[in-house]
Amino acid sequence: MILIDGKKTAEEIRKEISVEAKRIFEKRGSRPHLAAILVGHDGGSETYVAHKVKDCQEVGFDSTLVRFEDNVSEDELLEKIRELNINPLIDGIIVQLPLPKHINEQKVIESIDFRKDVDGFHPVNVGRMVIGLPAYISATPQGIVELLKRYRITTAGKTCVVVGRSNIVGRPLSILLSMKGEPGDCTVIVCHSRTPNIEHFTLQADILVAALGKPKFIKANMVKQGAVVIDVGTTRVPEASAKNGWKLTGDVDFNEVASKCSYITPVPGGVGPMTRVGLLYNTLLAASKKIYQ
């Protein structure tokens, strides 16, 4: 069994991105610049956004954090996005999700200029990705594909089972892995909450991706011997002995499953760090006008 070290791989990629960031600065006199919008004070969102700002600093990007209180109106939020859309100093824009219930999340996503949509959530980017055109690809699926690439895990002809059909992980990943090319050329099965007998499908997986958000859902009896197992779960499970009072827990019961795998990602230190680096990569693409002019 080989443990896939997402932390180390992400560190390597951050170094590559730093080199490119310097090159951009020399060429145009400004650093790649990410604008992040955070609404409210949700603990998880606060942490994620703080990571994004810190990650930018580390690779030599500029970042602007725009904060709003929970009671911000949808119009006020849309107005700020309009402003960032036309600001030539801003390369990439993200709005941290989830948003309060009174704000239409989809409307907010679609208000971001797709050329600056470094989360890859805008329907233009999703649509372009589906038909194989250059597009911003959302950070987690991109990070997973990059791990498969860098660990030289062949995917062509393999059966890949993705458990979970979210817009930001399961669905885009299922599409990427079925595309022509390497990584890709998989036969993909997408399982979800309405799939009966889920183990019937997961047992066929040469590559099994767990992205459903249920801690330790994947047990040893659901995994084929020699499978590659990618764990996307990041649930905070209460644990009294932990310093924060919780422990980040994956969707795979690692202790049961690991010995059956050819490769497995741990939680933490697997997919998570790659998700963080995916956003930096997209911001770099935006600053270097690699996808849109």
Q: Which residues bind ligand GUN (CB under 6 A)?
A: 94-97, 119, 139, 168
Q: Which residues contact 232 (CB under 8 A, 6 or more apart)?
A: 140, 144, 164, 169, 209, 210, 211, 250, 251, 271
Looking at the Cβ atoms of 52 and 158, the one nearer to ligand GUN is: 52
Backbone angles phi, psi at 3, to 5 degrees: -80, 125
Active-site residues: which are they? 52, 96, 119
Min dist. Cβ of residue 170 to ligand GUN (A) = 13
Looking at the Cβ atoms of 70 and 199, the one nearer to ligand GUN is: 70
Strand intervals (E) in 57-145: 62-68, 92-95
Strand intervals (E) in the chain: 2-3, 33-39, 62-68, 92-95, 159-163, 187-191, 207-210, 227-231, 235-238, 246-249, 261-264
Min dist. Cβ of residue 113 to ligand GUN (A) = 15
Whole-angstrom Cα distance, residue 237 to residue 249? Answer: 6
Residue with nearest beta carbon to ligand GUN: 97
- Tokens read off for 233: 């779960």
Min dist. Cβ of residue 119 to ligand GUN (A) = 5
For residue 233, the Cα-to-chain-centroid distance in whole angstroms is 11
Looking at the Cβ atoms of 95 and 129, the one nearer to ligand GUN is: 95
Looking at the Cβ atoms of 228 and 278, the one nearer to ligand GUN is: 278
Min dist. Cβ of residue 275 to ligand GUN (A) = 7
